[in-house]
Structures are given as structure tokens and as C-alpha cells.
């Protein structure tokens, strides 16, 4: 078990000790989005020292556990260049279709409402480097020209703005194309979440009728 995995194990233990607080509440207290925090706790993403300190405070851990977590974080940071130097893989050439790194991709697993879903789309945009609406429209246009798109037409900046400020679930195909132009790889997870949230909404409407 390397230092990052050991740190994740420690955070999972602390998470269980504050079972009265949801991941979303802890994420809010640490200043991270729920999807990013989920990746940190799973050991798939190494937080910054500031994020870790805020998370530990939100978990209200003791001083000994606090210092141990910071030590593990330092060790995990020290491991990063070692793994990079021992890699035989050549980095891929820059590609506008993959504008973001593979690590830390937002995960929709904790999303359960339309509002959270829309917030998750904004998290995706931030993870993608927070491109402007104009740049996102340009990426959409390139994909449309190549006929390699999840949406039948160019996703205009006004449409993207409406999606990111929506109070209900945006149209699925627009969501898929938005994720595509942001460089998301696991689009199926978002499609599944969209269907799950939509099903929950419909069930609530039937109960209210």
C-alpha cells in the first residue's frame, strides 16, 4: 500500500467515525465538490495540502490523526515524481478533444437531485479548465463538422449557459455532448445518473398526484 492509498484508508476511517455527517456536508465543510471529495476518499485523487487540512477539520479529527494524515500526504507528494520517472509510457500529444488530465474526473455517483446534477455539470467545466462558453461552442462546432457528436447540432453558448443554470434536468443528449466537449471519459456514468434522477423525480410526482 503506497502513501496515497494509506491516506485514503485513514480518511475512510475518519469518515466512518463521523457517520452523522453526509459526504456532501463534509465536502461543503472542506471546500471541495462532493465528486472531488469522493475521488479523494477513494484514493484516486491526491488533494492539495490546504484541501486536506480543511477536510480533516471538517471531520474533527484529533491532533495525532491530523498530523499523521499530513505526514502521509507529504509522503504521497514525494512519491509522485518517482512514479513519473519510472514510467516507460510516452505522454500523448496534445489534443483539443482531450483537454483535461485523466486524474480527478468528477464522479456523479453521489448525485440524487436535478439541482445536484446541474452543479455536477459545473464541476465538470471547472475540472476541464473552466473553458469559456465561446470555447465550448467552438469545440462543439469542430465535433459537429467531423460528425462525431452526441448531439445533432452545435451546442451554442446560450444553450450551455441555460444548462449550467437550469432548475431541472437538461436534455440528455445535450448533457452527453457537453460532457464530450469537456473531455469526460466515463459519459455512461452520467447517463445512468441522469436516468436515475429522472426516475426518482417521476416517482415523486406520482406519489404527489
Q: Would you call 151 exposed, middle or buried from its count of C-beta atoms within 10 A (0-12, 13-18, 19+)?
A: buried
pLDDT in tens, 93-135: 334 344 455 567 888 888 989 999 999 999 999 988 889 999 9
Q: What does the pLDDT read at residue 81?
A: 54
Residues in the chain: 209
Cβ–Cβ < 8 Å for 39, 104 = yes
Q: Which residue bears the cell 451546442?
A: 155
Share of the chain above pLDDT 90, in %: 26
Residue 163 and residue 175 in contact, taking contact as beta carbons nearer than 8 Å? yes
C-alpha–C-alpha distance, residues 127 and 106, integer Å: 7
Give CA separation, 135 vs 58, 76, 172, 181, in Å.
Answer: 36, 35, 21, 10
Per-residue pLDDT at 83 exceeds 90: no
Q: Please tell me the predicted confidence (pLDDT) of residue 85.
A: 38
Taking a C-beta distance cutoff of 8 angstroms, is the pair 163, 190 a contact? no
Out of 4-8, 15-19, 72-76, 103-107, which region has the weakest mean confidence (pLDDT)? 15-19
Predicted pLDDT at 84? 42
Q: Which of 19-23, 30-34, 187-191 has the highest mean pLDDT?
A: 187-191
Amino acid at each position: 500500500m503506497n502513501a496515497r492509498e494509506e491516506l485514503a484508508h485513514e480518511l475512510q476511517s475518519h469518515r466512518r467515525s463521523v457517520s452523522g455527517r453526509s459526504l456532501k456536508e463534509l465536502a461543503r465543510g472542506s471546500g471541495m465538490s462532493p465528486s472531488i471529495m469522493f475521488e479523494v476518499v477513494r484514493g484516486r485523487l491526491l488533494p492539495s495540502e490546504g484541501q486536506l487540512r480543511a477536510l480533516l477539520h471538517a471531520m474533527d479529527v484529533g491532533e495525532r490523526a491530523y498530523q499523521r494524515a499530513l505526514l502521509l500526504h507529504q509522503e504521497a507528494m514525494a512519491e509522485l515524481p518517482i512514479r513519473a520517472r519510472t514510467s516507460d509510457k510516452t505522454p500523448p500529444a496534445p489534443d483539443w478533444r482531450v483537454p483535461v488530465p485523466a486524474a480527478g474526473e468528477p464522479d456523479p455517483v453521489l448525485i440524487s437531485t436535478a439541482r445536484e446534477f446541474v452543479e455536477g455539470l459545473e464541476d465538470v467545466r471547472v475540472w476541464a479548465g473552466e473553458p469559456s462558453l465561446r470555447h465550448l461552442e467552438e469545440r462543439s462546432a469542430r465535433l459537429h463538422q467531423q460528425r462525431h457528436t452526441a448531439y445533432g447540432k452545435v451546442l451554442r453558448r446560450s444553450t450551455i449557459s441555460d444548462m449550467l443554470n437550469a432548475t431541472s434536468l437538461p436534455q440528455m443528449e445535450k448533457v452527453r455532448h457537453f460532457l464530450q466537449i469537456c473531455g469526460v471519459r466515463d459519459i455512461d456514468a452520467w447517463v445512468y445518473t441522469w436516468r436515475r434522477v429522472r426516475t426518482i423525480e417521476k416517482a415523486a410526482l406520482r406519489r404527489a398526484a
